[in-house]
């Protein structure tokens, strides 16, 4: 049985995509997802599943959510060990970093032709940005809401993303190891 993490995009954000996590985890348990748990209410899930395919797990999860909540959020599913690699590979993580300023743009697939010129143009002087196969990392000390780069990041990367801050990534990874 494989250990998985799932990140649901746009769930319980700004009054949209309302989805209660506790009932979702109970429904997951009834549908073959085991040890299902969540971190906060913004669609961060950890569970075990017999499938070895992230796409199959994502499809099953989206189908379950659609049946329960009548909408199907974009769902990024990763093996827990890939999330560990994403965190370990973060170039901006230091002991004194404010976790609210370090953001992980989790990628649905490796970007094949990101617009690096435009990314550099939009990057503020105090920001740092790096792209890997599984994530793009944005250090935004002035805040993610002020970042012009963040606002355009998905379009410039050319692949679907969902974003979480350092604290959330660490917490989800910790849950996956429990």
Q: Kindly tell me the sign of the dihedral angle through the C-alpha atoms of 83, 84, 86, 87.
A: positive
CA distance 28 to 37: 9
Tell me the pLDDT tens digit for each residue of 46-65. Answer: 999 999 999 999 999 999 99
How far is residue 142's CA from residue 126's CA, in Å, rounded to a whole number? 8
For position 16, what pLDDT does the model report?
A: 73
Q: How far apart are CA 87 and CA 68, in angstroms?
A: 32
Checking if the pLDDT of 42 tops 90, the result is no
Mean pLDDT of all residues in 160-175: 97
Give dist(CA 75, CA 149) in Å, integer. 23
The per-residue pLDDT for 178 is 85
Compute the distance between CA of residue 43 and CA of residue 8 in angstroms, rounded to an integer.
Answer: 5
CA gap 53, 169 in Å, rounded:
22
Question: How far apart are the C-alpha atoms of 164 and 178, rounded to whole Å?
Answer: 20
pLDDT greater than 90 at residue 81: yes
pLDDT at residue 15 tops 90: no
CATH number belonging to domain 83-177: 3.30.70
- Structural contact between residues 62 and 125, judged by C-beta atoms closer than 8 angstroms: no
The helix (run of H) or strand (run of E) holding residue 147 is none
For the chain, give every residue range classified as CATH 3.30.70.1280: 2-80
Q: Cite the beta strand spans of 75-134 per DSSP E.
A: 75-79, 102-107, 128-131
Mean pLDDT of 121-125: 97
> Under a CB-based contact definition with an 8 Å cutoff, are residues 176 and 80 in contact?
yes
User: Which pLDDT score is estimated for 41?
Assistant: 87
Fold classified for 2-80 = Alpha-Beta Plaits (3.30.70)
């Amino acid at each position: 049985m494989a250990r998985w993490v799932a990140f649901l995009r746009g769930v319980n954000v700004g009054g949209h995509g309302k989805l209660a996590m506790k009932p979702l985890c109970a429904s997951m348990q009834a549908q073959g997802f085991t040890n299902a748990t969540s971190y906060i209410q913004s669609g961060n899930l950890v569970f075990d599943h017999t499938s070895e395919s992230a796409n199959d797990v994502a499809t099953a999860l989206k189908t379950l959510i659609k049946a329960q909540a009548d909408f199907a959020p974009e769902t990024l599913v990763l093996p827990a060990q890939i999330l560990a690699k994403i965190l370990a590979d973060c170039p901006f993580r230091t002991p004194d970093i404010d976790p609210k300023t370090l953001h992980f743009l989790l990628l649905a697939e490796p970007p094949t032709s990101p617009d690096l010129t435009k990314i550099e143009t939009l990057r503020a002087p105090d920001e740092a940005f790096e792209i890997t196969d599984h994530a793009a990392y944005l250090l935004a000390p002035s805040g993610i809401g002020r970042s012009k780069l963040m606002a355009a990041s998905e379009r410039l990367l050319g692949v679907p993303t969902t974003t979480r801050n350092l604290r959330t990534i660490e917490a989800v990874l910790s849950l996956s190891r429990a």
